[in-house]
């Protein structure tokens, strides 16, 4: 059975605080909180260990009508008081107001042809998942691509997500996920509206419906770009001069399907088998959903990159191998984007080549990866080095 034993499975999936280690002392216990999600329409995705838990679908016109200045302001207040309390950036809020006005203005010729959709998936069949890992063998390596995603050319991309969709897009920070939600305000409106409809998360540890647990992933689609953000990281003081407003009709046929998966937050130096298991489950859930879901799936190629290797302290080589193994399990090809600013991936590619040459199963490969992480300091997380620099 390898590393992925059923007895370990249930323990792993229940320990949300371990997945988000440095947050375990917050009011949500490191997890997402109490989520009042209707699972009455859950369906099993045939041939996988994954279920589609729920599907939200709405029209652009309905979301645009909701996105008034007052509603957006109230949602921003809840977002900052309940979930992202550490800081704020008023220039970023001004940027969002500029994009919101463009979104609701009706001045563009955009008429939506498809609904805006968000589907939550969960890997909950331990027997099926373990059997898949014990029998599947790696048969392809990712294609390495230099540079960031070209969202007009890639039909399916990975969002290096927060456990709460959109991350801190309403408050501060403008890294990959925040940029997606600001530039594609149908997604922002879908999640922001929920903040005003759920039980008050400012008085109780209530989760947004658009959040995920360690064995869950989201698929998002139907949201064209209304803006282009020309910076990455902290929103600068002159940000309003660096926002390019777009006609969404130009992206109606090219907006990609988005796989939202949140990486483990490393609060350890050495990856243990349970950490690798959790990340494999997470990545597989998103990849399998994009490949095999009967309504939102059909994608055979997924664009990804160094998932969780910045503020979440993960090792680029470990995350390359984990996603490669998950892609093998899900039967998808990866276009793996590299920016040249992290660890050299040659050792990770060599590891995966060795897995293929030795004809190892995914379970056996994960065992070898766990041993490598235990014995080789070049395969440790960045947790200690990042803390030392502070």
Q: Report the alpha-carbon angle 51-326-130, nearest 5.
A: 60
CA distance 104 to 63: 9
Question: In this predicted structure, what is the pLDDT of residue 114?
Answer: 94
Strand residue runs (E) in 147-262: 156-161, 216-221, 227-229, 243-245, 257-262
What pLDDT digit, counting tens, does each position of 197-225 carry?
999 999 999 999 999 999 999 999 999 99
Question: Pseudo-torsion of CA 29, 36, 156, 166, nearest 10°?
Answer: -60
What pLDDT digit, counting tens, does each position of 14-36 carry?
467 678 766 777 888 888 999 99
CA distance 226 to 109: 12
Check whether domain 6-389 has CATH 3.30.420.10, yes or no = no
Question: In this predicted structure, what is the pLDDT of residue 30?
Answer: 83
Those residues whose C-beta lies under 8 Å from the C-beta of residue 121, and which sit 6 or more positions away, are 45, 50, 51, 52, 53, 216, 217, 218, 219, 285, 286, 288, 289, 293
For the chain, the average pLDDT equals: 92
> Which residues are 244's β-sheet partners?
228
Question: In this predicted structure, what is the pLDDT of residue 90?
Answer: 97
CA distance 164 to 223: 18
Nearest one of 260, 253, 251, 261 to 184, comparing CA atoms: 251
Question: In this predicted structure, what is the pLDDT of residue 386?
Answer: 53
* Residue 257, SS3 per DSSP: strand
User: In the numeric block, which tokens belong to residue 143?
Assistant: 């294609």
In this structure, are residues 262 and 282 in contact, taking their beta carbons and an 8 Å threshold?
A: yes
What pLDDT digit, counting tens, does each position of 276-287 carry?
999 999 999 999
Distances (CA, A) of 14 to 85, 90, 137, 260, 364: 26, 37, 28, 20, 24
CA distance 313 to 321: 16
Question: In this predicted structure, what is the pLDDT of residue 388?
Answer: 52
In this structure, are residues 336 and 144 in contact, taking their beta carbons and an 8 Å threshold?
A: yes
Question: In this predicted structure, what is the pLDDT of residue 2?
Answer: 47
SS3 percent helix, strand, coil of the chain, rounded to 5, is 40, 15, 40
Estimate to the nearest angstrom the gap between the alpha carbon of 96 and the chain centroid: 21
CA distance 355 to 352: 5
pLDDT tens digit at each of 390 positions of the chain: 445 554 444 444 446 767 876 677 788 888 899 999 999 999 999 999 999 999 999 999 999 999 999 999 999 999 999 999 988 999 999 999 999 999 999 656 788 989 999 999 999 998 999 999 999 999 999 999 999 999 999 999 999 999 999 999 999 999 999 999 999 999 999 999 999 999 999 999 999 999 999 999 999 999 999 999 999 999 999 999 999 999 999 999 999 999 999 999 999 999 999 999 999 999 999 999 999 999 999 999 999 999 999 989 999 999 999 999 999 999 999 999 998 888 899 999 999 999 999 999 999 999 999 999 999 999 999 997 555 554
Sign of the C-alpha dihedral computed for residues 158, 163, 164 and 170 taken in this order: negative
In this structure, are residues 202 and 221 in contact, taking their beta carbons and an 8 Å threshold?
A: no
* Residue 101, SS3 per DSSP: helix
């Amino acid at each position: 059975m390898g590393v992925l034993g059923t007895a370990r499975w249930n323990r792993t999936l229940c320990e949300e605080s371990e997945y988000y280690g440095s947050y375990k002392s917050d009011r949500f216990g490191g997890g997402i909180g109490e989520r009042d999600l209707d699972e009455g329409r859950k369906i099993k995705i045939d041939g996988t260990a994954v279920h589609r838990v729920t599907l939200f679908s709405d029209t652009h016109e309905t979301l645009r009508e909701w996105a008034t200045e007052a509603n957006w302001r109230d949602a921003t207040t809840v977002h900052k008081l309940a979930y992202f309390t550490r800081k704020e950036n008023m220039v970023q809020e001004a940027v969002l107001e500029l994009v919101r006005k463009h979104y609701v203005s009706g001045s563009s010729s955009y008429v939506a042809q498809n609904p805006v959709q968000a589907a939550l998936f969960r890997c909950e069949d331990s027997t099926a998942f373990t059997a898949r890992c014990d029998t599947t063998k790696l048969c392809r390596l990712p294609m390495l691509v230099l540079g960031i995603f070209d969202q007009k050319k890639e039909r399916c991309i990975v969002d290096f997500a927060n456990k709460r969709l959109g991350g801190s897009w309403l408050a501060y920070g403008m890294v990959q996920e925040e940029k997606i939600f600001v530039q594609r305000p149908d997604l922002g409106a879908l999640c922001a509206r929920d903040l005003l409809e759920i039980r008050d998360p400012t008085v109780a540890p209530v989760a947004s419906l658009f959040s995920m647990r360690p064995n869950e992933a989201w698929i998002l689609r139907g949201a064209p770009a209304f803006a282009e953000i020309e910076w990455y990281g902290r929103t600068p003081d002159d940000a309003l001069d660096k926002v390019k407003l777009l006609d969404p009709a130009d992206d109606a046929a090219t907006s990609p399907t988005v796989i939202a998966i949140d990486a483990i937050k490393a609060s350890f130096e050495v990856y243990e088998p349970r950490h690798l298991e959790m990340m494999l489950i997470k990545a597989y859930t998103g990849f399998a959903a994009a490949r095999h879901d009967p309504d939102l799936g059909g994608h055979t190629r997924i664009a990804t990159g160094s998932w969780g290797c910045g503020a979440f302290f993960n090792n680029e080589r470990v995350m390359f191998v984990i996603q490669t193994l998950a892609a093998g399990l899900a039967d998808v090809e990866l276009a793996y984007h590299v920016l040249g600013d992290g660890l050299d991936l040659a050792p990770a590619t060599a590891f995966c080549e060795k897995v293929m040459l030795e004809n190892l199963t995914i379970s056996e490969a994960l065992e070898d990866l766990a041993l490598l992480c235990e014995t080789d300091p070049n395969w440790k997380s960045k947790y200690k080095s990042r803390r030392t620099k502070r």
